[in-house]
């Protein structure tokens, strides 16, 4: 009986919901369109509760680390403090207020910029390790990356005037072709995963492996 509640009922709810929302895109039946609107609204409200649960989990995990002063506890204290201040300011003044904007611009903005800079350094390091010229395609990709990087650099167009036009051509044609190929592959994979989910073959969303009968 437990497998019915843990597996078949969630799969049935997912399949019915997915079919209704999918049909809403292709057919104009008032009952289906209305049901799809209601289900979409439910999904939006459930996402709000998911964010709330995530915030509560952050508080639950941070407080013991701060009390015990475990490793890097002050980072958890900073995160918890900003979480409380931003949440309180948003509830009291609203997210469109000047107070909320001040906290957002002066705390989230600098941290986001710092993280992006750190990620850029790691990406450059990973690219340097990954691009080892072992074949003609890799050599071509290496040349394209160098051209785009030089053209993007502030002094690049001054030192190499022709690289700007070449960089635009690379980004407009070869790069776009590759991006569209990846997009089409991802779309096909998403479609296949959606079909598997609707017919009950994909059960990863249940949070556990398939139970053995």
Residue 140 lies in a domain: no
pLDDT over 50 at 105, yes or no: yes
Q: Model confidence over 50-61: pLDDT tens digits?
A: 888 988 888 888
Average pLDDT for 77-92: 86
The answer to whether residues 111 and 35 belong to one domain is: no
> How many other CB atoms are found less than 10 A from the CB of residue 211?
11
Q: What is the band of 211 on the pLDDT scale with cuts at 50, 70, 90?
A: very low
Do 62 and 44 form a contact (C-beta atoms < 8 A)? Answer: no
Q: How far is the C-alpha of 13 from the C-alpha of 205, rounded, in Å? A: 12
pTM over 0.85: no
The answer to whether residues 39 and 119 belong to one domain is: no
Domain final residue, candidates 93, 117, 142: 93
Number of domains in the chain: 2
The answer to whether residues 41 and 126 belong to one domain is: no
The answer to whether residues 80 and 53 belong to one domain is: yes
Residue 183 lies in a domain: no
The answer to whether residues 72 and 100 belong to one domain is: no
| % residues pLDDT > 70 (the chain) | 92
Q: What is the band of 213 on the pLDDT scale with cuts at 50, 70, 90?
A: very low
- What are the φ/ψ torsions at residue 41 (nearest 5 degrees)? -65, -40
Q: How far is the C-alpha of 7 from the C-alpha of 130, rounded, in Å? A: 42
Residue 194 lies in a domain: no
The answer to whether residues 3 and 47 belong to one domain is: yes
Residue 5 lies in a domain: yes
Ramachandran quadrant class, 87 (left: phi over 0; alpha: psi -120 to 50; beta: rest): alpha
The answer to whether residues 53 and 103 belong to one domain is: no
The answer to whether residues 22 and 79 belong to one domain is: yes
pLDDT over 60 at 100, yes or no: yes
Q: What is the band of 208 on the pLDDT scale with cuts at 50, 70, 90?
A: low
Question: Residue 130: what pLDDT?
Answer: 66
Question: Residue 186: what pLDDT?
Answer: 92
Mean pLDDT of the chain: 83
Residue 61 lies in a domain: yes
Return the sign of the alpha-carbon dihedral for residues 90, 93, 94, 96: negative
The set of residues, in sequence order, having a beta carbon less than 8 Å from that of 169 and lying 6+ positions away, is: none
Q: Model confidence over 119-173: pLDDT tens digits?
A: 877 877 777 776 676 778 778 888 888 888 888 888 777 788 888 888 889 888 8
The answer to whether residues 40 and 110 belong to one domain is: no
Structural domain boundaries enclosing 35:
1-93
The answer to whether residues 14 and 53 belong to one domain is: yes
């Amino acid at each position: 009986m437990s497998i019915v509640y843990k597996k078949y009922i969630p799969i049935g709810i997912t399949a019915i919901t997915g079919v209704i929302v999918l049909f809403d895109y292709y057919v104009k039946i008032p009952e289906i369109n209305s049901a799809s609107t209601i289900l979409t609204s439910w999904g939006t409200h459930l996402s709000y509760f998911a964010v709330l649960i995530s915030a509560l989990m952050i508080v639950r995990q941070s407080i013991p680390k701060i009390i015990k002063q475990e490793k890097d506890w002050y980072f958890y204290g900073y995160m918890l403090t900003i979480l409380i201040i931003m949440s309180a300011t948003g509830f009291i003044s609203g997210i469109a207020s000047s107070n909320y904007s001040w906290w957002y611009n002066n705390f989230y903005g600098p941290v986001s910029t710092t993280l992006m800079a750190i990620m850029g350094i790691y990406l450059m390091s990973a690219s340097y390790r990954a691009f080892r010229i072992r074949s003609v395609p890799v050599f071509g990709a290496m040349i394209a990356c160098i051209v785009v990087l030089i053209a993007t650099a502030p002094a690049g167009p001054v030192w190499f005037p022709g690289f700007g036009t070449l960089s635009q051509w690379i980004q407009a044609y070869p790069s776009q072709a590759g991006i569209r190929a990846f997009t089409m592959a991802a779309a096909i994979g998403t479609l296949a995963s959606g079909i598997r989910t609707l017919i009950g073959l994909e059960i990863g969303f249940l949070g556990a492996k398939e139970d053995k009968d």
